[in-house]
C-alpha cells in the first residue's frame, strides 16, 4: 500500500475530517485489508448507522486478543469512525465542526460554564453566547485573543479529498 | 442478572440547552468510542426514531429525531450507564436524556464535570 512518485516511495496516508494524518505504513496486512474493505464499502455510500454497525461488529476480529480500550486507539477504529462521520454528513445527520463548536467545547465542557469562563478571561458573557448561538460574528483577532487567554490557538489545515480515499481502496 | 437499557440521543442540540442544530460529527465519535470501551454488549438501532414531546420549560410540543442505543449490562452496573447519560446530556447539549429500563422511563439530566479531558 505505497504510492510511487519519481521512483521514490511515498508513504500512504489517510487524512481524517479533523485533519489528523494517519500513516498506514506500519499497519499489518490484516489491518490494511480491513481498511481497504471498509473504504470500498464506504464508497457505495450506505446509510451511516448500517455502516457503523457493520464495522463495529467486525473490528474485534481484526485485533483478536486486544482489549476494547486498545482497539479504540487503532488506525482501523479511527478510520472507520471517520468514514462513518462522512456518511453522516452526506445524509444530513451530522455536520462538520466549526470554530463555534470547538469554542463551545472549551467554554461549556472543559471550563464547565460560560459564566465561569467569561469571568476568568474577562469576556462579555452575552457577547460570547451570541457568537456561540450564531447570532453574532467574531473577528479573527477577537477569537485569537480569547483563545490565547484560554491556552489555545487557531489552526489552518488541508481538506481531505474523496479521491484520496479511492486511491487507498484501490492499492 | 442482566438487564436491558435503552436510551435516545437526539440528532440535534436542544434549542435552549444548545442551538437546535445538528451535532458536529466528533460528538458522535466520542459517544461511539466511549460506548465501545465501557460496554461489552450494546447496539445501535439501525434506523432513526422520531418522537414528539412537551418541552418542560416552554410547554410547547417539540418533535425530534434520535438515535437509539440498547445496552445489556449486569443490574449492578445500571449506575454506570446513568452516569454516562449525565455526560451525554452535557456533551450533546440536551436538557435531559430519555432512558428506559425494563419499560420504566427515566429522564437523566446533565451533570457538568469541570476540566473534562477527551
A85:B46 CB<8 A: no
Is B118 or A123 the better-scoring residue by pLDDT?
A: A123
* % helix, strand, coil for chain B, step of 5: 25, 45, 30
Report the alpha-carbon distance of residue A99 to residue A4 in Å, rounded.
36
pLDDT computed for residue B115 by the predictor: 47
Report the alpha-carbon distance of residue A164 to residue A152 in Å, rounded.
30
The answer to ipTM > 0.90 is no
Q: A171 CA to chain B: closest CA distance, Å?
A: 27
A113:B112 CB<8 A: yes
B22:A47 CB<8 A: no
For residue B38, tell me if it sits in a domain.
Answer: yes
Mean pLDDT of chain A: 85
Strands B96-101 and B61-74 come out as: unpaired
A98:B24 CB<8 A: yes
Beta bridge partners of A67: none
Of A99-108, A158-167, B79-88, the least confident: A158-167
Widest CA span of chain B, in angstroms?
A: 40
φ/ψ (deg, to 5) at A128: -60, -40
- Tell me which chain B residue has its CA closest to the CA of residue A78: B29
User: Cβ(B49)–Cβ(B66) under 8 Å?
Assistant: yes
Percent of chain B with pLDDT over 70: 94
Q: A57 CA to chain B: closest CA distance, Å?
A: 9
B44:A52 CB<8 A: yes
Q: What are B20-29's pLDDT values in tens digits?
A: 889 999 999 9
For residue B118, tell me if it sits in a domain.
Answer: no
Residue B100's domain comprises 2-109
- Tell me which chain B residue has its CA closest to the CA of residue A18: B26
Q: Which of residues 109-168 of A touch B (CB under 8 A)?
A: 109-113, 132-134
Mean pLDDT of chain B: 86
φ/ψ (deg, to 5) at A24: -100, 5
Q: What are A64-92's pLDDT values in tens digits?
A: 889 999 999 999 999 999 999 999 999 99
All structural domains of chain A with their residue ranges: 2-94, 99-150
Q: B116 CA to chain A: closest CA distance, Å?
A: 5
Closest Cα to residue A133, out of B103, B14, B42?
B14
> Taking 70 as the threshold, does the pLDDT of residue B34 lie above it?
yes
Nearest 5°: the CA angle B90, B64, A56 is: 65
Chain A partners of B11 at a C-beta cutoff of 8 Å?
93-94
Cell of B63: 418533535
Read off the pLDDT of each residue in B72-80 and give the average, rounded to a whole number. Answer: 91
- pTM here is 0.82
How confident is residue A32, by pLDDT bands cut at 50, 70 and 90?
Answer: very high
Chain A partners of B32 at a C-beta cutoff of 8 Å?
52, 56, 81, 84
How confident is residue A51, by pLDDT bands cut at 50, 70 and 90?
Answer: very high
Is A101 or A165 the better-scoring residue by pLDDT?
A: A101
> Taking 60 as the threshold, does the pLDDT of residue A44 lie above it?
yes
Q: Is B103 on the interface with A (CB under 8 A)?
A: no
The CATH number of the domain holding residue B81 is 3.30.70.120
Chain B partners of A89 at a C-beta cutoff of 8 Å?
25
For residue B116, tell me if it sits in a domain.
Answer: no
Q: What are A111-137's pLDDT values in tens digits?
A: 878 889 999 988 899 999 888 888 888
With 0-12 CB in 10 A as exposed, 13-18 as middle and 19+ as buried, what is B43? Answer: middle
Is A121 or A160 the better-scoring residue by pLDDT?
A: A121
How confident is residue B118, by pLDDT bands cut at 50, 70 and 90?
Answer: very low
DSSP per-residue codes, A27-50: --HHHHHHHHHHHHHHTT---HHH
Chain A partners of B29 at a C-beta cutoff of 8 Å?
81, 85
Q: How many domains does chain B have?
A: 1
How confident is residue A2, by pLDDT bands cut at 50, 70 and 90?
Answer: very low
For residue B115, tell me if it sits in a domain.
Answer: no
Q: Is B19 on the interface with A (CB under 8 A)?
A: yes
Closest Cα to residue A69, out of B82, B37, B67, B35?
B37
Amino acid at each position: 500500500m505505497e504510492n510511487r512518485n519519481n521512483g521514490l516511495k511515498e508513504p500512504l496516508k489517510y487524512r481524517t475530517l479533523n485533519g489528523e494524518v494517519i500513516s498506514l505504513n506500519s499497519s499489518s496486512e490484516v489491518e490494511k485489508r480491513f481498511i481497504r474493505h471498509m473504504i470500498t464499502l464506504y464508497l457505495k455510500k450506505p446509510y451511516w448507522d448500517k455502516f457503523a454497525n457493520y464495522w463495529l461488529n467486525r473490528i474485534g476480529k481484526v485485533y483478536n486478543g486486544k482489549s476494547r480500550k486498545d482497539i479504540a486507539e487503532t488506525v482501523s477504529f479511527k478510520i472507520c469512525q471517520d468514514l462513518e462521520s462522512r456518511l453522516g454528513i452526506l445524509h444530513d445527520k451530522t455536520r462538520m465542526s466549526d470554530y463555534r463548536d470547538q469554542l463551545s467545547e472549551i467554554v461549556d465542557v472543559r471550563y464547565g460554564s460560560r459564566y465561569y469562563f467569561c469571568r476568568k478571561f474577562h469576556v462579555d458573557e452575552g457577547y460570547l453566547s451570541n457568537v456561540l448561538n450564531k447570532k453574532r460574528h467574531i473577528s479573527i483577532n477577537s477569537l485569537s485573543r480569547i483563545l490565547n487567554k484560554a491556552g489555545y490557538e487557531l489552526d489552518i489545515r488541508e481538506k481531505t479529498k474523496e479521491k484520496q480515499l479511492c486511491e487507498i481502496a484501490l492499492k | 442478572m442482566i438487564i436491558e437499557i435503552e436510551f435516545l440521543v437526539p440528532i440535534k442540540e436542544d434549542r435552549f440547552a444548545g442551538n437546535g442544530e445538528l451535532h458536529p460529527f466528533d460528538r458522535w465519535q466520542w459517544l461511539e468510542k466511549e460506548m465501545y470501551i465501557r460496554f461489552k454488549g450494546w447496539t445501535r438501532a439501525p434506523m432513526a426514531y422520531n418522537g414528539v414531546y412537551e418541552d418542560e420549560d416552554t410547554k410547547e410540543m417539540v418533535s425530534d429525531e434520535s438515535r437509539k442505543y440498547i445496552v445489556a449490562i449486569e443490574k449492578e452496573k445500571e449506575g454506570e450507564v446513568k452516569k454516562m447519560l449525565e455526560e451525554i446530556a452535557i456533551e450533546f447539549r440536551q436538557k435531559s436524556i430519555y432512558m428506559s429500563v425494563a419499560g420504566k422511563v427515566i429522564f437523566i439530566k446533565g451533570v457538568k464535570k469541570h476540566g473534562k479531558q477527551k
